[in-house]
Amino acid sequence: MPFSHHSHSGQFCAHAQDQLEDVVLAAIARGFRSLALTEHIYRPKEDFYPEEEGLYTEASLKESFGLYMKEASRLREKYSSRIEILVGFEAEWIRPSSERDINDVLRDYKGSLDFFLGSIHHVMSHPIDFDREKYDMALRKAGGTDEKLFLQYFLEMGSMLRALKPPVVGHFDLIRLKSDTPDTQFEGMDEVWKVIRNNLEYIASYGGILELNSAALRKGLAEPYPCLPICQYFMSLGGRFTISDDSHGVAQLGTNYHRLLDFIKKVGIETIWYADRRTQSTSDARFRAGFSSMSVEELIQHPYWSLA
């Protein structure tokens, strides 16, 4: 596949695999046009995941992010003749105070960042995609039904969107993953759909890009993130889309991209956008990269499809 806007490595993410440079080399070998490096930013101790307990302190997790930025910048320059590397991060919006941490990263690394990915992994401070036990904790706190939890998820996403205006919005409906109905299209959930539409309208209003994320297919869902009706509504707004594998190591680079392409055709998307350092950002002074586009027909012609 020509590109991915969402990736992690075992070097800087405790639930991923492989060294960051090995991920880059694998992307080159598989014919990627570009690869965005988007490790998670640091979090307070109360929000550590189980695999991080005993491995990090707040200070060392923050230090690890700094080492990531240094290594990502080195790799961007080292392999610039072979692949375009975009240096970014995946935001950790957990509660309103997360805005401070994310803005600190945007300030401290201004001039080095190409873009970032805005996403939600928590509802009412509980992780919703880690395991069913933690999902159920969020479920109970939200009121005991998936519909109430879905509503709270999209409300908190709306707060993140308005505070940060992320250039790319990641796995928009990740909340489906651990639910009783992971292939839901939010049928009959009028209040949930009202907030979904509000969020999509806001993303479109500031020119944000919605990520088509193939990780949902890898995890057994019938459709990628986001599901078909969300994509159709965003397309009706003139919204822009990009593609990602959300890889957590070499083995997951480009997984299910053929199925993702079939989904793109099903939705009727005609244009795909990608971060491009050759196109200076004119609309967002926080970042070095702008965004360029290619037609889906051009995408289909890429040699990747015959090599994968």
Peptide bond into 166 cis (omega under 30): no
Note the pLDDT of residue 306.
Answer: 77
Q: Which residues of the chain have pLDDT under 50?
A: none
pTM for this predicted structure: 0.96
Q: What is the dihedral of CA 133, 135, 140, 143, to 10 degrees?
A: -160
Neighbours of 97 (CB within 10 A): 8
Q: Which residues of 216-234 are buried (b: 16+ CB within 10 A; e: fewer)?
A: bbbeebebbbbbeebbebb
H or E segment and range at residue 205: helix 190-206
Token pair listed for 176: 């489906």
* C-alpha to C-alpha distance for 161 and 167, rounded to whole angstroms: 10
Burial of 81 per CB tally in 10 Å (0-12, 13-18, 19+):
exposed
CATH number at 133 reads 3.20.20.140
Number of domains observed in the structure of the chain? 1
For 251, the domain range is 3-307
Tens of pLDDT, residues 30-87? 999 999 999 999 999 999 988 899 899 999 999 999 999 999 999 999 999 999 999 9
